[in-house]
Amino acid sequence: TGENAVETVQSVWDAESVGTELLACEDEVRDRTPFSDEWPELATDTALAYAIQDQNLARRLARGETLIGIKLGVTSRAKQAMVGIDSPGVAWLTDAMVLPAGDPIPQDKLIHPRVEPEIVFVMKDRLEGPGVTAAQAMAAVGSVLGGVEIIDSRYRDFRFRIGDVIADNNSSGRFTTGPVSVPPDRINLAAEAVLVEVNGEIVDSATGAAIQDHPGEALALAVNVLAERGLALEPGWIVLTGGITTAWFAPPGTSVGVHFTTLGSIYAYSD
C-alpha cells in the first residue's frame, strides 16, 4: 500500500546499517552526506548516536584493535564555531589511530584530514562519574602531554549534525603525542599557550583556557557523560581533551608544527 511505501522510505537507515556504512566509508576512504538528511531522528538523538559509536567500537575490537582511551570533541569555542555544534561529546581511541611521531600523515587512508592542537592526559587512576569535579578529575591524571589530532570526517565537507558526528566517532582519524610529559601539578594548563604553524606561517594561537576554561573541566565532563552509559576511564588510558583552535586542512604537501610553551613542539606533515 501507499502507507507501506512511505514506511519503507523512512526506515532505510537504522543503527546497524549506519554503523556499517561509516566503517565502510573509513575503510574505503570515501565520504557521504550526513545520515540525518535521510533519518532526521539521528540529528539530535545523542543516545542513539552513542549506541552506533559503541557498536562500531565493538567492531573495531573484534577486528583486532585495542581500546586505548577517549577523545573529547567540540570543547573549545573555536571548534564549536567551526562545526556549528555547541555541546561537547566523547569518542573512542584505539591503537590503530596512533600516528607515531615522525611518520607522515597517511593521506591514502584519510578522506580530507585536518589537524588541530590538543592537550592530552594519561590517566593514573580509574575515574568514574557521575558528579566528578574538575579537581577530582585532575587528581586521577598521571601526566600531561601536547598532541596533534588529525581529524577526518566521513561526511562530505565536514557537514554534519550532532548525532551524525557522534555516530562517526567524532571524526576520529589519527593522533600524535608530543615529546614532553609533565605531572599535572607542574603545569598551569589554563595558561599553557600553543601556536599552530602551517607551511611555515603562524595561522592560529590559543591557551588551554579555551578548553572549557580548563582542560580538567573537559575531563570531568567526559567521565560524567560516559557514566550515563555505565562506563569509566581506566588507568593508562589516553584522553584527548579537544581541539584548542579550529582545525586546519592538511592536504598532501602540508607541513604543520604545533608549538606549546611547556609541552614542546609536534610536527605533522605529508608528501
Q: Which amino acid is at 145?
A: L
Interaction of residue 149 with Mg ion, rule CB under 5 A: yes
Q: CB under 6 A: which stretch of 34-42, 73-81, 220-228, 250-258 binds ligand 0L1?
A: 73-81
The residue with cell 562545526 is: 83
Q: Are 101 and 192 in contact (CB under 8 A)?
A: no
Residues 6+ positions from 75 with CB-CB distance below 8 Å: 88, 211, 212, 218, 221, 241, 242, 243
Which residue lies nearer to ligand 0L1 by CB, 21 or 139? Answer: 21
Which residue lies nearer to ligand 0L1 by CB, 51 or 115? Answer: 115
204/192 Cα distance (integer angstroms): 14
Interaction of residue 83 with ligand 0L1, rule CB under 6 A: yes
Interaction of residue 243 with Mg ion, rule CB under 5 A: yes
Interaction of residue 34 with ligand 0L1, rule CB under 6 A: no
Phi, psi of 49 (to 5 degrees): -65, -40
Closest CA to 243 of 95, 120, 84, 107: 120
**What does 83 bind: Mg ion, ligand 0L1, none (CB cut-off 5 to 8 Å by kind)?**
ligand 0L1
Q: CB under 5 A: which stretch of 14-22, 125-133, 209-217, 235-243 binds Mg ion?
A: 235-243
Q: Which residues bind ligand 0L1 (CB under 6 A)?
A: 73-74, 79, 83, 116, 149, 151, 153, 158, 165, 170-171, 242-243, 247
